[in-house]
Chains A and B, each alone.
Chain A
């Protein structure tokens, strides 16, 4: 019945770097399954004569001119950072020793 498996939820969680408990995976599998079912219903309605759309507004070519506007100050930019080193964001090690 469900359009999504627990394995798929676990895979998505690892791609999104979210640590989920088995209980959370089980409940998310049900929730996401319902969403997938709903999307299936929409797909039934979407016949070939309905063009695919990625945006609800019938707009194209919304551009801005190439003019510099003030940026944040370094302090503002770094204010939400968990850690910093001088004017740079500091992050944990990315790869282990090979």
Chain B
């Protein structure tokens, strides 16, 4: 296969205007599925969470999960949407082994939420308002694995296996209107928009919001319009874009690929494309065809959802502070420079740092410990930093450092003890005997001994060659097994050397 040619990104933008659109699927974290009482959880054995309803067996009857409706309304409100006074489900008919019912229960002409908008801020400070066309509810499909043929690919597989545990899990699909005027920021707009959605659903608590586990999934639509034209180009829909960085890369790739194709006199095929994380490319999937005739019709087994205005207002009152506003407030409160604050945000440590400061730590110390030693240990262990240690423990550790009980080096050992489950920082200090020796007695004894065994150094110090004290300080720190405050040792060495006459 001929490798797709890419046009230089800047050149592509000179010739064409990118037009974007995003469909983000959010998996809700309800206890049960959308239309049945099967558990909404993964990591279980295959096909352990199924019933006649989610398997589409005769006699199955869907029943709407109230919590899923509540989460969908709250998400709609957080996106500035209107909530429908009357909303209903529809069957989207298609035959594919990932859905045993042969239709997806979705919403067609009466989505639960519509007409919203979300303003995002790019790194340059540019604000972009993304108009939300609709947010509708639907159920997820099962999970397919392909066996035989080229590893894991659907093409040429000998057969496929299906696990329906995910089939019927509640989803909200958020559909944007066309985003024009993105220009060179288009890839960043994609990334920032999906990050903003992820942040909102996390703050609402309606989803686990882990992209790596497929809780938030993005389809990116890209088309190019020749400069000076007002006719929209043919768009492609890139599926499978499941990390923020991939959204950015996939949008950039499609702009460059389509520009190369168009400028060479080619045409864009309206098709779904697959994103390949490893190669950073998209490849053609299925072209739009007759098979996209989904023959939607109202779901006869479900009655309409008509949320009362009172219920909607009750739910509106439960909305948290919008994440973007919260970030602005926290950065100002903490007095962090942009880079310091970004470091915290990018490490997903905003909540941890906030809780640590609330527990009494200074903002800078909380930031330093979380993005430094805790993040390092978490990285080594391959887990999230905030799952490793509690904010109040980090605050207690910082307090011990600031009180002079621990040096930074000792505090790192204490942190390891806390993470190993040895107790609170204070308990670890006691059990491991890690406190700085603050009683000068043992220090003075060690210093006198070191000075006596190095008379030449003693002579130099007395001659005013203060740098020579380093050798004695080193010997003392070694004798104290590092459990001494080096600054205090230095002070005492100079004092003892002076008084030893």
A interface residues, Cβ below 8 angstroms from B: 11, 14-17, 54-55, 57, 59-69, 71-72, 74, 77-78, 80, 85-98
User: Please, how many angstroms separate the alpha-carbon atoms of A16 and B31 in the complex?
Assistant: 34
| A88-B161 in contact (CB<8A) | yes
| B46-A74 in contact (CB<8A) | yes
User: Please, how many angstroms separate the alpha-carbon atoms of A30 and B234 in the complex?
Assistant: 40
State which of A57, A86, A96 has its C-beta within 8 Å of the C-beta of B303: A57
Shortest Cβ distance from B87 into A: residue: A60
State which of A65, A66, A91 has its C-beta within 8 Å of the C-beta of B160: A91
User: Please, how many angstroms separate the alpha-carbon atoms of A54 and B149 in the complex?
Assistant: 46
Shortest Cβ distance from A84 into B: residue: B161
| A71-B64 in contact (CB<8A) | no
User: Please, how many angstroms separate the alpha-carbon atoms of A85 and B160 in the complex?
Assistant: 10
| B45-A94 in contact (CB<8A) | no
B interface residues, Cβ below 8 angstroms from A: 30-32, 37-39, 45-52, 55, 57, 63-69, 86, 88, 93, 95-97, 144-147, 149, 154-164, 290-291, 293, 295, 298, 300, 302-307
Which residues of the other chain, A, contact B160 by a CB distance below 8 angstroms?
Answer: 90-94
Contacts A17-B95, A67-B32 given: A55-B159 contact, CB under 8 Å? no
Nearest Cβ on chain A to B72's Cβ, whole angstroms? 12
User: Please, how many angstroms separate the alpha-carbon atoms of A16 and B290 in the complex?
Assistant: 12
Q: Is the interface of A mostly helix, strand, loop or mixed?
A: loop
> What are some 9 contacts across the A-B interface (CB < 8 A)?
A54-B88, A64-B63, A65-B67, A66-B65, A66-B68, A68-B38, A72-B55, A74-B48, A87-B163
| B303-A74 in contact (CB<8A) | no
User: Please, how many angstroms separate the alpha-carbon atoms of A10 and B50 in the complex?
Assistant: 34
| A62-B303 in contact (CB<8A) | yes
Nearest Cβ on chain B to A16's Cβ, whole angstroms? 7
Which residues of the other chain, B, contact A74 by a CB distance below 8 angstroms?
Answer: 45-48
User: Please, how many angstroms separate the alpha-carbon atoms of A55 and B305 in the complex?
Assistant: 12
Shortest Cβ distance from B38 into A: residue: A71
State which of B95, B147, B149, B302 has its C-beta within 8 Å of the C-beta of A16: B95
Which residues of the other chain, A, contact B86 by a CB distance below 8 angstroms?
Answer: 60
Which residues of the other chain, B, contact A15 by a CB distance below 8 angstroms?
Answer: 93, 95, 290-291, 293, 295
